[in-house]
Amino acid sequence: MLAQAVSATLRGIDGQRVVVEVHVGNGLPAFNVVGLPDASCREARDRVRAAILSSGFKWPSARITVNLAPSGVRKEGAGLDLAIALGVLAAGSDHLDDAPLKDYGFVAELGLDGSLRPVPGTLSLVASVHQPTVVVAAAATHEAMLAGNAVVRGCRSLGEVVACLAGLAPWPDIPAADHDPVATSPPDLADVAGHPFARQALEIAAAGGHNLLMVGPPGTGKSMLARRLPGIMPDLDPETALVTSRVHSVAGLPLPRAGLLAVPPFRAPHHSATMTSLIGGGSGRFRPGEVSCSHGGVLFLDELGEFSPRTLDALRQPLEDGHIRISRAHGSVTFPARFALVAAMNPCPCGLLGSAESCRCSDPARQRYMRRLSGPLLDRIDLRVHVERPTVGQLLDGEVGETSAAVRSRVLAARQRAAERGVRANVELPAASLDKVAPVEGAALAMLRAALDDGRLSARGLTRVRLVARTIADLAGADSIDERAIAGALALRARPALFDACEPTRA
């Protein structure tokens, strides 16, 4: 006998509809899965058999062939387990008829005891099934409902699904959400004492989507500043919220109970992160990396000088293009990667260069440390700030700084000006449009010409300076770019003086 059930598999952050065909016929007892399954799909034969027997159903003593169509698409993950089990029961036993399966999609992993478990990428999988009703694990019900294209049924076990399909029991109610694992507010910028120049750079980064590098001794507040950036950024627009939520779902990260992600994500991988974990990929399945999980938000690289130079240089292409393409022998996928890079590093390995204490590093050690940050990557960082230690007066007697809400109001106004130009942030403006949206004349043009003549700016740097100047003007509510905006952009792009201290001495 032959039975069919509909499920889906992942292809990057997109789902691929899969028709599970199960044939139970004469021959020596066997269980074969065909249709380009990966290792986890092939192991479904053991999970499915144990789940069916544990649920009190009879296992067919026959030759069982499972075809995953279309056969030319690689299948990965355990989300096909439930569809395979129901196909076996419909084709090889009297417990279930084939007719009810046609109107449903099934996305869940099976436990050996017959329980249903959620799978990564449920949001994308449910969106690609194209069936009027989709059955998922009870724990994945709220995420599956975010797809909005089907009626979602959440069950806890294989036996419960069979009883509901056979009409012996009603579909269970949607379980109540116990807590929201993502509902946390970003820390407030008012907690930061001092640092007026760094705070200004943070505001410009939020308003224009620019990349930011903070250099300074340990304990000055670099990480504290970076973690407050999402609190002054605007909420994600609907399109970005959907894409970012799908990326987080595929990566196995929690999603809000109330809907899609709204607050810009903040990802802070450890400096021991590998290139694959940062960029994405993997040998088994294509998994999004930290650059994609940061889409629409912030990628914070603390202790930048401790990252592998090869890993850091892999950031150059996504910083430029806003996406990352992963190519392997069995195929290629494209992940979104439009994020603001915020990095923090010490001026030397011991971190004391330029502080009141004496540096303990040798000249070669300082040079090796700074060489980890390549010129092409540094050229893609628009804002470079030296963060000094706050004074005693700022720490103990200083006034409370502006709150995140006050800064965010100016950022939203600047983003609205960018939206009128057809982009979400000024960093997305094409270079060809700068003469129209960011014209430079008079003294401002002379300042840019001098910077180019001195070798302080590359061609990319010229474009970046004009974009930053456009953001500075937007924050000030100005329509034109004057010499003050250009001077501010050039000052923020200047190479930190501490970098020069690590250069080899020339005779």
Average pLDDT of the residues in 287-302: 95
**Is residue 198 located within the same domain as residue 253?**
yes
Query: What's the CA gap between 140 and 174, in Å, rounded?
Result: 10
Residue 113 lies in a domain: yes
Name which residue leads in pLDDT, 330 or 272. 272
223 strand-pairing partners: none
Residue 171 lies in a domain: no
**Which of 114, 130, 165 corresponds to the end of one domain?**
165
Residue 170 lies in a domain: no
pLDDT of 356: 64
Using DSSP bridges, classify how beta strands 212-215 and 383-386 pair: parallel, antiparallel or unpaired.
parallel
Minimum mean pLDDT range among 53-67, 386-400, 454-468: 386-400
pLDDT at residue 133 above 90? yes
Indicate the average pLDDT of the chain: 89
Convert the pLDDT of each residue in 259-289 to its tens digit.
889 999 999 999 999 999 999 987 767 889 9
pLDDT of 96: 82
CB 367 within 8 A of CB 502: yes
CATH number, domain of 446, equals 3.40.50.300
Domain that holds residue 21: 2-165
When pLDDT is cut at 50, 70 and 90, the band that residue 165 belongs to is very high
**Is residue 278 located within the same domain as residue 144?**
no
Residue 172 lies in a domain: no
Question: Which range, 90-99, 239-248, 254-263, is most confident?
Answer: 239-248
User: How buried is 125 (Cβ within 10 angstroms: 0-12 exposed, 13-18 middle, 19+ buried)?
Assistant: buried
CA distances from 370 to 115, 216, 304, 448 (A): 53, 13, 10, 27
pLDDT of 284: 66
Query: What's the CA gap between 417 and 246, in Å, rounded?
Result: 28
- C-alpha angle 68/17/259, rounded to 5°? 140
Q: Alpha helices, DSSP H only, in 140-281?
A: 141-145, 158-165, 196-208, 222-226, 238-250, 275-279
**Is residue 58 located within the same domain as residue 146?**
yes
**Which of 165, 180, 204 corresponds to the end of one domain?**
165
pLDDT of 172: 92
Task: Find the helix or strand (DSSP H, E) in which 410 lies.
Answer: helix 404-420
When pLDDT is cut at 50, 70 and 90, the band that residue 507 belongs to is very low
CB 202 within 8 A of CB 212: yes
- Helix, strand, coil: what percent of the chain each, to 5? 40, 20, 40
**Is residue 359 located within the same domain as residue 471?**
yes
List the structure tokens of 37: 């399954």
**Is residue 31 located within the same domain as residue 138?**
yes
The residue behind tokens 């770019």 is 481
Query: What's the CA gap between 59 and 89, in Å, rounded?
Result: 8
Residue 384 lies in a domain: yes
From start to end of 277-339, where are the E strands?
Answer: 280-281, 287-288, 298-301, 323-328, 331-336
Convert the pLDDT of each residue in 433-447 to its tens digit.
988 988 888 888 999
Average pLDDT of the residues in 348-366: 80
List the structure tokens of 458: 């590359």
Minimum mean pLDDT range among 45-49, 97-101, 362-366: 97-101
pLDDT at residue 506 above 60? no
**Is residue 198 located within the same domain as residue 328?**
yes
Average pLDDT of the residues in 27-44: 90
Q: How many helices (H) and strands (E) does the chain have?
A: 22, 18
CATH number, domain of 111, equals 3.30.230.10
When pLDDT is cut at 50, 70 and 90, the band that residue 502 belongs to is very low
Residue 61 lies in a domain: yes
Query: What's the CA gap between 370 and 503, in Å, rounded?
Result: 9
**Is residue 361 located within the same domain as residue 262?**
yes
Residue 176 lies in a domain: no
Average pLDDT of the residues in 363-376: 84
**Is residue 120 located within the same domain as residue 200?**
no
CB 152 within 8 A of CB 127: no
pLDDT of 195: 87
pLDDT of 180: 65
CA distances from 251 to 144, 254, 279, 358, 376 (A): 15, 9, 13, 44, 29
Query: What's the CA gap between 470 and 480, in Å, rounded?
Result: 8
When pLDDT is cut at 50, 70 and 90, the band that residue 369 belongs to is confident
**Is residue 265 located within the same domain as residue 159?**
no
**Is residue 280 located within the same domain as residue 324?**
yes
pLDDT of 497: 56
List the structure tokens of 81: 């387990």
Residue 227 lies in a domain: yes
**Is residue 33 located within the same domain as residue 129?**
yes
- Domain tally, the chain: 2
**Is residue 195 located within the same domain as residue 239?**
yes
pLDDT of 442: 86
pLDDT of 194: 83
List the structure tokens of 282: 């993997």
